[in-house]
Structure 1
Amino acid sequence: MADAEDREVKARKERERDELYALDISGVEWHSAPGTEQHEERVEIAYLPEGAVAMRSSLDPDTVLRYTEAEWRAFVLGARDGEFDLEPAGRETTSGAE
């Protein structure tokens, strides 16, 4: 029974992704963080129907990632919770031995 449910969930997610990427987003309004300048590298997002979100880099505007409402919510909550915090560059983690 679990295998059938897993296949059903996977099929539903594939349909959602296909529908999301089939949307014409040529006229969406792109948003970036306040205080960033047009010439600066930045992440831009656009709000899509049904709570979905598109995301791109200002340096590569033709490559657009799209997320369902649930995926975007999980990402935002994870980011707020520190799941994506990076170690400062050049800082190595140690196992306690010096």
Structure 2
Amino acid sequence: MAAVAVQQTAGLFSGLLERMENIDFVKQFADNPDAALREAGLGISLADFTKQLSENPQLFEAVVGKLSNNVEFINKSNIAMSSCDQPR
């Protein structure tokens, strides 16, 4: 029975997880999570989403995995040149 619940939850959040592969969506999610959740087709609040994350370790791991990949990329793309790299 628990496996069915996990599959249903994963199905519910599949659109969100797919969108989290898009860096622009991740930025939108960071700026306005409620709007991002609506755009992903979820009719839940950030509080409900957070509750789902705390109750479902597989969903939590999936979301963290998607976000960490894109956050790492965003951070690397925003790194300023060091003084050693700047033209003289």
Whose relative contact order is higher, 1 or 2, with alpha carbons under 8 Å and at least 6 apart? 2
Pairwise same-fold verdict (TM > 0.5): no
TM-score by length of 1: 0.28
**Which has a greater percent of strand?**
1
TM-score by length of 2: 0.30
